[in-house]
Amino acid sequence: MLDRLRHDVEQYFSAYYSELREQIAKHDPEFRVLPHWFKGGRKVQGICCEDGVVVVHLPYDTETMTYPDREDSYDFYLRRGELVKEWVAKYDKPWMNPGGLPADMQPLIPDYAPGEGFKSGYWPEPRRSYSTLDSEGRTITEEDKWTRLDYTNLQKLGIWRDVSRAREQARYILRRYISDV
């Protein structure tokens, strides 16, 4: 099952990134409209947990948030005894607000009790938090270090078998920025 899941995840996101890059090349190759996180290659990490799977997409250099033109890489990890919500929490940025997320920002995954089902979800781009903290009154943006995050429960693993859905999802996400995709 793990080999099948690894194959499905890699095929799905290979199709997703192929479509994304094809549409970018047609509509905004200079990134005049599109945000920087659509550039370059990704490290795609699948984490198979006790109750589902998390797929995290990262730039090759998370510290500088640079996106070199490299092939995407795919790694897969098995984490027995750990829950999807625990792994998603590891990617939930410790925002500047000491009380947690800003009031207008949703958690990456709704809380659920162990053994309880949860809905599949995805964040198609890093979350951003805006504040005016610098001395000149300029808006400072804080971003998550990942560029996309997906998760699902064990009963919905088939969502990553439909590569035509992956391509449509790439076009849908780009339509936020470019209307004629």
Domain ranges of the chain: 2-174
E strands within 60-133? 73-79, 121-123, 128-131
- State pTM to two decimals: 0.85
pLDDT at 103 over 60: no
Q: How far is CA 126 from the centre of its chain?
A: 7
Query: What is the average per-residue pLDDT within 44-73?
Result: 85
Predicted confidence (pLDDT) per residue in 114-154, tens digit: 888 899 999 998 876 656 566 777 666 666 778 899 999 99
CB-side neighbour CA atoms (13 Å) of 114: 6
Q: How confident is the prediction for the chain on average, in pLDDT?
A: 85
In b/e form, how buried is each residue of 149-175, taking b as 16+ CB within 10 angstroms?
bbbbbeeebeebeebeebbebbeebbe
